[in-house]
Amino acid sequence: MYLGINLGTSEVKVLLLASTGRVIGTAGSPFTVSRPHQRWAEQNPEDWWTGTRSALAALRAKHPDEFAQIRGIGLSGQMHGAVLLDAEDRVLRPAILWNDMRSDKECAELTGRAPDLHSVAGNLAMPGFTAPKLLWVARHEPDIFARTACVLLPKDYLRLQLTGGKVSDPSDAAGTLWLDVAKRDWSDSLLAACNMTRAQMPGLAEGSAPSGTLLPQVARELGLSDGVIVAAGGGDNATSAIGIGATQPGDGFVSLGTSGVLCVVGDSFRPNPASAVHAFCHAIPDRWHQMSVVLSAASCLRWVCKLTSTDEPTLLAEIEALPADALNTAPLFLPYLSGERTPHNDPYAQGVFFGMNHATDRALLGYAVLEGVTLALTDGLDALRAAGTEAKALSLLGGGARSDYWAQLLADALDTATRKHGGETGAALGAAGSRRAAIRRPCSANRPSRSSSRRIRAVMPDCARGSTLTARCIVTFGRSSIRRANGSPERESTAQTAAGRVARRPGHAGCYHRRPSSGSSQCPSPQKNSTLLLAPRGSTTSRATPRTRSPRSCRCRVRSRSGSSLSQWKRT
């Protein structure tokens, strides 16, 4: 028996896996995210350990005989979070999470300090990554920074509690901006740019390698032997890939969790930071993967449910009951509730509902949310394709993958056959499997393992619906990210000018001007002319037309549906 532990943002999930690959049972314990200030996101690491113990107790109670036979444990978890420990391994402050946007100024500082950042780390400096968080702590909490003896990632804090050891793995460490991703080792130069050293980093081990054994007191509490091995594991996306057999170049998946991730496996390190594509290590040796990330995915659905006083099953049923013609006039939605990464890298981007009228009801708002997240993922797929990455198949994972309706919408928009794997346990399943041999034989997402094949359902794209989504994608983003079966775009992309790059500025309601390079959050239009892009609805041109706006006042508001497209006013 093998145990997988996946430390997510909203829940820790534990999964018991037989040596045959059969899932014996699962359990979980929920978490909340603390937001003491706007754009902050924190959690207490001690709550993770308490929740994990609670989930393990529940799993043991349901399957006592099988639980007692556990021989190995694998770990998975949310990436990028910063757990700061002192010399006595005590937590110094709440963990700063992956969706915390406070450190945008520090990103620019890091880029200036580390000229080799993009070539070594393979990624742009973004507020969600770990390194800028430490620069923020050094600036705003210098006493805590001075006392920081070690920085752990979220899942590795659980490892510390389980084994007493400080160890991470390359797939998770790649999200810190301190790793030489090609060499799969810490970079002394990138650490020095943050005034840190290797001594403050955990050791590194490949995902399937042992990282330690259970502490005697932990083993007694769990009813297990002291010799149970804890594997290094991996970041949640890498272990999700292992969970559905995505280990070979071209294998890929779409994860609809709190965030939305489109991940494709490769056999080499191929960075493309210009399009905010993530290039990370896989959780198995000699494999890497590229990812596009939408910071708000299934969380957008939870948000609109809260907004309209309903629950997800009820809203999804109402969406599925909508007539087809109603979908073509549904509002448009930009899903940037927490800023955005791929391909825009804009922590200030905000969500927008556009095109509402008296006939707009809860179901149409819900559909707009599903469609907006889906089209944002096609934006990310376009960025991956621009980097030369093609997906052979895309499996669906995460809580959002439970919806058959959303699965079909994704297949139509991505113009790719997708498959459902029972994705609610994807990362936990991969974590459990990380203690087993990661690759026993070549295995692609097109050839599921025998143990999981019964749970897989193919979802084929609907070309007619895909054409409609193409048109709405043009209206929403000012271009089409959707490519038809012949592999060519229906419309060439403009130079990364999607509406999602706009950033609402304080004091200028409806303003979507570029944030000045100085980092000021004020709209520049009262001081000087601003170059805007106009992309009229239905236009077939591949480039928007520059316009110069008068500095007299700031009136850049989104026009009605009868006028220009939602992306009429866009940052250049």
Is the pLDDT reported for residue 124 higher than 70? yes
The pLDDT of residue 271 is 86
* 121 Cβ contact list (under 8 Å, min separation 6): 174, 177, 178, 179, 180, 181, 187, 190
Strand-pair partners of 16: 3, 25
Asked whether the beta carbons of 17 and 63 are under 8 A apart, the reply is no
The pLDDT of residue 466 is 75
Determine the distance from the C-alpha atom of residue 377 to the mean position of all C-alpha atoms in its chain, rounded to a whole number. Answer: 11
Just give the CATH number of 244-296+386-402+415-439+448-460. 3.30.420.40
Confidence band, pLDDT 50/70/90 cuts, at residue 436: low
Measured between alpha carbons, how far is 374 from 411 in angstroms, rounded to an integer? Answer: 9
For tokens 């090609």, the residue is 182
Instruction: Give the model confidence (pLDDT) of 259-270 as tens digits.
Output: 899 999 988 898
Domain extents for the chain? Answer: 2-237, 244-296+386-402+415-439+448-460
The pLDDT of residue 453 is 41
Determine the distance from the C-alpha atom of residue 71 to the mean position of all C-alpha atoms in its chain, rounded to a whole number. Answer: 31
- Mean pLDDT across the stretch 157-178? 97
Asked whether the beta carbons of 409 and 344 are under 8 A apart, the reply is no
The pLDDT of residue 272 is 83
Beta strand pairing call for 229-231 and 210-213: antiparallel
- Mean pLDDT across the stretch 57-78? 95
Of 471 and 481, the one with more pLDDT: 471
Contacts 24+ apart (CB under 8 A), 284-288: 284/206, 284/207, 284/208, 284/242, 284/247, 284/438, 284/439, 285/206, 285/438, 287/247, 288/181
Measured between alpha carbons, how far is 102 from 100 in angstroms, rounded to an integer? Answer: 6
Beta strand pairing call for 2-7 and 72-77: parallel
Least confident of 193-207, 291-305, 366-380, 449-463: 449-463
The pLDDT of residue 33 is 95
Q: What is the pTM of this model?
A: 0.73
CB burial class (10 A; 0-12, 13-18, 19+) of residue 526? Answer: middle
Instruction: Give the model confidence (pLDDT) of 306-334 as tens digits.
Output: 999 999 999 999 999 999 888 888 999 99
The pLDDT of residue 301 is 94
Confidence band, pLDDT 50/70/90 cuts, at residue 455: low
CA angle centred on 337, ends 79 and 546, rounded to 5°: 110
Q: How far is CA 446 from CA 211, 292, 311, 381, in A?
A: 32, 21, 34, 19
Under CATH, which architecture does the 2-237 domain have?
2-Layer Sandwich (3.30)
Q: Which residues are catalytic?
A: 236
Least confident of 86-95, 313-322, 372-381: 372-381
Range from 100-104, 149-153, 250-254 that averages highest in pLDDT = 149-153
Domain 2-237 matches domain 244-296+386-402+415-439+448-460 at the CATH topology level: yes
